[in-house]
Amino acid sequence: MSRPSVSRRQFLGASGAALVAGLAGCSAGEGGTSTDTASSAETLKIGVLEDQSGNFALVGDPKAKASMLAIEEINANGGIDGMQIETFQRDPQSDNQRYQELTRTAINEENVDALWAGYSSATREAIRPIIDRNEQLYFYTTQYEGGVCDEFTFAVGPTARQQLGIVLPYLVEEFGPDIYTIAADYNFGQLSADWVKVLANENDANVLGEEFIPLSESSFGSTINRIQEADPDFVMSMLVGANHTSFYEQKASAGLDVPIGTSTAMAQGYEHRRLDAPAMANIYAGVNYMEEVPTDSNTGDGGFVDRYFEKYPDAPYLNEEAETNYFSTYMYKKAVEQAGTTEQPEVIDALESGIELGTEEAPEAPEGETIRLDGATHHVDHHMWIMRADEEHNVEAVENRQIPETFLSETAGCNLPENPEQTQYTPVDYYEEAE
């Protein structure tokens, strides 16, 4: 794909370069890092906008911390092509308007070379038009509903097709074909519920009912009653945020002991650590990562878990998105070194060549084995796990395997190097059962 080679950094001209040079070694701002360097040519700048307060703080704060860990490690080992990383880091406070303001600041004032930002899909969609207008290299690291085919966005968390695609067939085989779906009432939950219908059809299962719960809702008595009346073999839950945590406590109090598959619980908000047993009993999470994932690079001596808690001894948990922030920073490092420049069009070209981790040239991702960025779709072929919590909230891995991203590549025909676009495809576009 041919992209303009003139960057914003060049466009700003000599006066802007002089200003950046004069600021080298100064603080990158609230929560930011600084480097003691003589000129801007010896640094690059990464933007990290993750929720550290508000409704998504529980899941966003580990993302920010993991980004800082990766940056600290990279800087301690010589940086990226000899350049130390500076950061522009702010707390958007789980507020999409603030995200938009900070994204504009990161791009137009801080001139970041790459941006990591946002937990929710609503946040991603609030800032993606700004990203696209400014042709900004952007990493979105949350597990999400899938379908984003955007030349400037690298959605490197697992998709619903990958997460639900490992856990739903397992639950059908283990417990039966009848499913009840509960999901957050915004684009992530709605599209994830569509994927449940698609996967149910592929696995000869039935969706008996579905409910969409507002993010502000914390009372689930009527929902639990409807689940009990439907009597499904298992529930698929795509609930999100602090308020929705109440469902798991309330279902335990009501005696609802049906197995629950999920793409959100435990791995993100570590409910199995925060809630009293048996609230999370028989929860089956389809994830690319949890703190308990049993790989040497994760839980082994000196592994990701050890390094994270050495840096953040008071942190409560190391969640799924934190791992994705961490490994995607190393993917960016490898791409810059391959490109030989921080110019964003060239770095995007390098990323689209198919960056891998777990090779001799790059560390293994904590989730395990070699993982690969699919250059055509800007998504990752993840190592996926089913993690189950028992009555005492002990967590074990019951299945794991590599699952490539297939919806964009095989069904929607997303090929960004050949056809740059800024689209989100949905299951309804291709599957009658999702309608």
Q: Give the H or E element holding residue 329.
A: helix 320-339
Task: Please count the structural domains in the chain.
Answer: 2
pLDDT value at position 361? Answer: 67
9 falls within a domain: no
Domain boundary among 266, 287, 308: 287
**Angle subtended at Cα 86 by Cα 81 and Cα 91, rounded to the nearest 5 degrees:** 140
Query: Which residue, 160, 179, 288, 170, is CA-closest to 230?
Result: 179
Residue whose tokens read 């048996």 = 278
pLDDT, residue 41, reads: 56
Same domain, 220 and 299: no
80-103: b (≥16 Cβ within 10 Å) or e: beebbbbbbbbbbbbbbebbbebb
pLDDT given at position 242: 86
Q: Tell me: do 170 and 182 sit in the same domain.
A: yes
pLDDT at 33: 41
Give the residue numbers spanning the domain of 197.
161-287
- Supply the pLDDT for residue 1: 43
Asked if the structure places residue 399 within a domain, the reply is: no
Task: Single out the residue of 107, 136, 157 nearest to residue 264, CA to CA.
Answer: 157
Alpha-carbon distance of 402 to 64, in angstroms, equals: 26
Pick from 9, 69, 116, 109: which is nearest to 332 by CA?
116
317, 330: one domain: yes
**Would you give the distance in Å from CA 204 to the centre of its chain?**
30
- Whether 298 and 418 map to the same domain: the answer is yes
- Is the domain of 315 the same as that of 416? yes
CATH number for position 317: 3.40.50.2300
Considering the domain architecture, whether residues 417 and 303 belong to the same structural domain is answered as yes
pTM of this structure: 0.89
| Same domain (yes/no): 87, 138 | yes
Helix (H, G, I), strand (E, B) or coil at 22: helix
Q: Which of 287, 311, 346 is the last residue of a domain?
A: 287
Residues in the chain, pLDDT under 70: 1-41, 361-362
Contact between 196 and 164 (Cβ < 8 Å)? yes
